[in-house]
Amino acid sequence: MTRGKFITVEGIEGTGKSTNIEFITKRIEAQGFDVLRTREPGGTPMAEQIRLLLLDHGQEYLPSIAELLLFFAARSLHLRNSIIPALLDGKWVVCDRFTDASRAYQGSGRGQDLDRIERLAEWVQQGLEPDMTILLDAPAEVGMQRAAERGEGDRMDNEELAFYQRVRTGYLTLADMHPERFAVVDASRPLPEVQGSIEAKLNTIFSDK
Ligand code: TMP
């Protein structure tokens, strides 16, 4: 059996990830593939526990190194116990965020050393890379406005606008560095247009299956 494809979806808050992941999953299923829809941090019972720690760590100070290591610890569990078995089983995996989020948020956003993040990525991923990364891109102001309208408010959402501008720039830089993997979609447009663009990108991966 051929392994399934690994699709990751990235973007700052408020770029419509959930709605579009639903759309992506349905498009892949319509091609006759089984899909594992999952997310980071999370995707396994232990990784979901780590997610809870990351998003709400109470009063205790979370050093940025500990934060980075927790994201990669969750990723290691997720790969070993969920993503890789699903791919080997022929399923397509659609993952809400992956290592590019660590590069963009911990690296570009928080200023963690990008080479160190790459070493962790090599160690944890052991050569497995997404086949396609759909980057839902919008100006940070637009994303923040949409996230505020939804009334979201975990620790990450309270970061200042400048942080999200750095994260967005980080994502766009990654897309420039890896054009073979990234599909950048302008998510500030009306949803039907966004989904039309996503569909066109997915068709390229369907045609080389
Ligand atoms: P979510 O709200 O999209 O589920 O993601 C949770 C938060 O975690 C979001 O603000 C982005 C952040 N995050 C990182 O900072 N680094 C990572 O590696 C991942 C996967 C998520």
**88 in any annotated domain:** yes
Query: 75 in ligand 1 pocket by Cβ < 6 Å?
Result: no
pLDDT of residue 152: 65
- The mean pLDDT of the chain is 94
**1 in any annotated domain:** no
Per-residue model confidence as pLDDT tens digits over 149-175: 887 655 445 558 999 999 999 999 999
Q: Report how far ligand 1's centroid is from the alpha carbon of 39 (Å).
A: 9
Residue ID of nearest Cα to ligand 1 atom 18: 102
**23 in any annotated domain:** yes
DSSP 9-36: EE--TTS-HHHHHHHHHHHHHHTT--EE
Residue ID of nearest Cα to ligand 1 atom 10: 156
Per-residue model confidence as pLDDT tens digits over 101-128: 999 999 999 999 999 999 999 999 999 9
CATH number reported for the structural domain that contains residue 132 in this entry: 3.40.50.300
Number of domains in the chain: 1
Looking at the DSSP bridge assignments, the partners of residue 135 are 10, 184
Q: Which of 12, 20, 37, 40 to mutate to test the pocket of ligand 1 (most atoms within 8 A of CB)?
A: 40
**64 in any annotated domain:** yes
Query: 8 in ligand 1 pocket by Cβ < 6 Å?
Result: no
Range of the domain at 190: 6-206
pTM of the model: 0.95
